[in-house]
Amino acid sequence: MFRSGQFVREQCSPVSDEQRQPNGIDLTLDRVFEQIDAGRIGCDGKEVGDRRACEVEELDETHSAYYLDPGGYIVRYNETIRIPEGHVGFVYPRSTLMRNSCMLNTAVWDAGYEGKGEGLLQIHHDIELERGARIAQLVLAQANHDDSYDGTYQRENIDSE
CATH number for the domain harbouring residue 22: 2.70.40.10
Q: Is residue 151 part of a domain?
A: yes
Q: Is residue 3 part of a domain?
A: yes
Range of the domain at 153: 1-32+60-161
**pLDDT of 145:** 84
Length reported for the chain: 161
- For residues 1-29, average pLDDT: 96
List the beta bridge partners of residue 128.
67
Residue 122 has pLDDT above 70, yes or no: yes
Q: Report the distance separating Cα 30 and Cα 35, nearest Å.
A: 17
The model's pLDDT over 139-159, given as tens digits with 9 standing for 90+, comes to: 999 999 888 888 888 888 886
Share of residues in the chain with pLDDT > 90 (%): 88
Q: Report the distance separating Cα 60 and Cα 112, nearest Å.
A: 39
Q: Is residue 118 part of a domain?
A: yes
**pLDDT of 146:** 83
Q: Report the distance separating Cα 108 and Cα 105, nearest Å.
A: 10
CA-based nearest residue to 68, from 34, 116, 98: 34
CA-based nearest residue to 122, from 67, 47, 70: 70
**Could you tell me if 87 and 142 are in contact, meaning their C-beta atoms sit under 8 angstroms apart?**
yes
Q: Report the distance separating Cα 92 and Cα 99, nearest Å.
A: 14
Q: Is residue 19 part of a domain?
A: yes
Q: Report the distance separating Cα 122 and Cα 103, nearest Å.
A: 5
Q: Is residue 12 part of a domain?
A: yes
Q: Is residue 76 part of a domain?
A: yes
Q: Is residue 50 part of a domain?
A: no
pTM: 0.91
Cis peptide bond prior to 14, omega within 30° of 0: yes
Residue 76, classed as helix, strand or coil, is strand
The model's pLDDT over 77-97, given as tens digits with 9 standing for 90+, comes to: 999 999 999 999 999 999 999
Domain count, the chain: 1
Q: Is residue 113 part of a domain?
A: yes
